[in-house]
A and B are shown apart, each in its own frame.
Chain A
Amino acid sequence: MASWHYLRQEGACVQEWIQLLIDGVTIGGVYAVIALGYTLVYGVLRMINFAHGELFMMGAFTGYFTLTAFENHSNFNDSLPVLTIAVAIVMGMVVAVTLALLMERIAYRPLRNAPRLAPLISAIGVSILLRNIMLRVTNAQGKVYPQVFPRTALEIGEIRLLYVQIFLLVLSVFFLALLYLFIQRTKAGVAIRAVAEDRNTASLMGIDVDRTIMTTFAAGAALAGAAGVVYGMFVTTATSDMGFIPGIKAFTAAVLGGIGSVPGAMAGGYFLGITEALSTKFFGAQYKDVVAFMLLVGVLIFRPWGLFGKRDDKRA
């Protein structure tokens, strides 16, 4: 249980705190990147894409298959690690985007005017489908990433940061920035915001709604796929259920930040990650989800529209 004497210990304690924060930010960055996908799709379609976590999982598998192919057929992994990693990330994005467009076309587009919960169930169906297909494809064996990224650590006192972890941290921040710019600065981004604001009016203004929705799915999926590859390199394994828990957490993060809000999803992700890390320290890992959800309820009681959501938002 929580005991405040932790706070009074000095020296090693401070470093442990920093380490905990780093742990929290690492996983929080992953939540944030996945949460963006949730929030973008929710913004334009008002639907929870439950299968979004599965795109993350597919990204991780694509990364595994790509890197293994390089490992088996050439010595690229040894001579040009930067290139193979880049190719793996791009492949992860391509596969995730393709899948996302397919699922949008097959499972969601026919339901665009359906009752609100129909797409949710359809998404749950896609999620179960993808998870079990990968389970059969891999014969339930977790796949181990070839060691492309050296697993050495940066050490500052007692604090240790794996280089792959730094890569993951930097990359998630980079993706978040990239997406933010994309939404704010490009034409497609403006279209997404317009459709999110009011689909009918946007369509009257000459915006191709179908195309914009596809762009939204693609953008969210690209982030999830890339995050999957890098996270896969960090945790070194890919399994068929690895998208489920991050998916739920990212959904929580998106709501925490105010669903539909891009900066909200980022803040929510980091906030959730850090909360988990700290509650592991104080209450034990078995209570971290309880703390996270309690906190969510607490935040929503005082700000029902989330940390960054719009207050007058009717849909909230």
Chain B
Amino acid sequence: MAADALRTLATKLSPARYWQRSAEALQRTPPGALVVRYGQFVVLPLLAIAGGLGPSYFGIRWTFAILVVVMYVLLRSRSGLFGLALLASMLVYLPHQMDVFERGIMFDIALYAMLGIGLNVVVGFAGLLDLGYVAFFASGAYLYALLSAPESAGGFDVGTSFWLVLPMAMVLTALMGIALGVPVLRLRGDYLAIVTLGFGEIIRIMIRNEDGVTNGTFGVFSIPKPHFVGRELSGPVELYFVVLSGCFIAAFASERIRDSRVGRAWEAIREDEDVAAGMGVDTTVYKLLAFAIGAAIGGAGGVVYAAKQTAVFPQDFNLDVSINVLALVIIGGMGNVRGVVLGAMLLIGLPEVLRDVSVDVGFVHLTNLGADYRLVIFGAALVAVMVLRPEGLLPSTRRAAEFEQAELLEAETGV
């Protein structure tokens, strides 16, 4: 197993193989496409350097813009290894160059990317519309908060370690996912949407009302930071890396599962549930599995969130969180983990980066445009992205194919 992996790694890394592939490609590709394809090897490093040095010179707004462009080009390109290496190094390197606000944003982006990856399993892979994802996020956050915070701050005064709560939360939320899944399995599409939405609300309201257990409206605070080999992971950067690794693990796991038997079963369910069932796919089990996996990732995200935030309140886990996560999955491109990352950058980053924007042209003086109008711009941006790229910014190849098929079908029938 390990040997195989190493061999794959070696083959992939081998320059010989790379050039061989390029040579083949060279013969087949028209020159114009070549410029585009190989031009990125010049442009991208420059952009990456600009992105890396950005915060010190251009300020957060331009850096963010550059970062998004780089991400978009990298993630779309087929240059694969090179691009992803560049991307990974940027994600790791950048926060060290940033100030506390920008690091906070990076943390939020990484956290939401992780949640997006989790929700993507449910929505993107299995095709189950879930508007109550916040329930798992909240449960994870509250589990860590209650198990770690001192009694005076609303906790149980147990002082359980972060690393112990993390798997506990994942198991708990996975079970919750199954518990939610069982009654709603017979429902499809939009019925599922409203039931999951209700589930999210119920969890939030119960956390708020059961103040004997959760300290209710007043929340739980003084939540300790996790320790790692004797060192406290105190700042946003340290926890950012925890989330980032969480992201990569979740991304890796979810892509592996997608390409396995389970993934193919989900695909079949997504395409046509009745046919899938007819072909002998046990739809119940696979749907529950999707719920459980998605929920577990959400729960893990909640634990890290509570650790970073140090205070959790029921009202922080409202419908907006579910909507945001769903929107970033769809904006990014459903079914595609890379798309989710890009979606998180745009949806979570954009409103924060807009904070400082002001317009002062001619007779238009909108100082604090960002602070006041950022949500207006955000709403318009959501519409614009969807109208211009309905399949998302980075659709999975499989999904894009489905979409084209649908379009062809529509064109044929003349609608």
Contacts and interface: CB of A to CB of B under 8 A. Distances in A.
B and A form one assembly: yes
B376 A115 contact: no
A218 B340 CA distance: 35
Contacts of A251: 194
Nearest to B380: A129
Given A48-B190, A136-B372, A255-B190, A125 B198 contact: no
B205 A252 contact: no
B415 interface: yes
Contacts, number: 146
B359 to A, nearest CB: 14
A133 B376 contact: yes
Contacts of A106: 383, 387
A121 B129 CA distance: 12
Contacts of A115: 334, 390-392, 399, 402-403, 406
Interface stretch (A83-91, A147-155, A161-169, A294-302): A294-302
Contacts of B330: 117-118, 120-121
A304 B415 contact: no
Interface residues of B, number: 53
B379 A297 contact: no
B202 interface: yes
Interface string A255-271: 10001000000000000
Contacts of A107: 383, 386-387
Contact of B209 (A287, A292, A304): A287
A173 interface: no
Given A286-B209, A294-B202, A124 B183 contact: no
A199 B413 CA distance: 11
A297 B205 contact: no
Given A122-B383, A128-B378, A132-B375, A248 B197 contact: yes
Bin chain A's interface residue count. 35 or more
A306 B206 CA distance: 26
Interface in A125-163: 125-133, 136
B379 A132 contact: yes
Central interface residue in A119, A132, A252, A306, by most chain B CB within 10 Å: A132
Contacts of B406: 113, 115
Interface stretch (B18-26, B34-42, B294-302, B319-327): B319-327
B208 A286 contact: yes
A188 B209 CA distance: 48
A114 interface: yes
A76 interface: no
Central interface residue in B123, B208, B383, B390, by most chain A CB within 10 Å: B383
Interface in B373-412: 373, 375-376, 378-383, 386-387, 390-392, 399, 402-403, 406-407, 410
Contacts of A287: 205, 209
B373 A126 contact: no
A122 B183 contact: no
A252 B198 contact: yes
A316 to B, nearest CB: 6
B105 interface: no
A110 interface: yes
A290 B323 CA distance: 19
A184 interface: no
A253 B372 CA distance: 34
A42 interface: yes
Contacts of B381: 125
B290 to A, nearest CB: 16
Contacts of A124: 323, 327, 382
B193 interface: yes
Contacts of A129: 376, 379-380, 382-383
B100 interface: no
Contact of A248 (B191, B319, B331): B319
Interface string B47-79: 000000000000000000000000000000000
A6 interface: no
A200 B415 contact: yes
B133 interface: no
Nearest to A125: B382
Interface string B180-195: 0001101111110111
Nearest to A107: B383
A287 to B, nearest CB: 7
Interface of B: 123, 129, 183-184, 186-191, 193-195, 197-199, 201-202, 205-206, 208-209, 319, 323, 326-327, 330-331, 334, 372-373, 375-376, 378-383, 386-387, 390-392, 399, 402-403, 406-407, 410, 413-415
5 contacts: A106-B387, A255-B191, A297-B199, A301-B184, A315-B189
9 A-B pairs with least C-beta separation: A125-B382, A129-B379, A114-B390, A293-B198, A128-B379, A125-B383, A122-B386, A132-B375, A118-B390
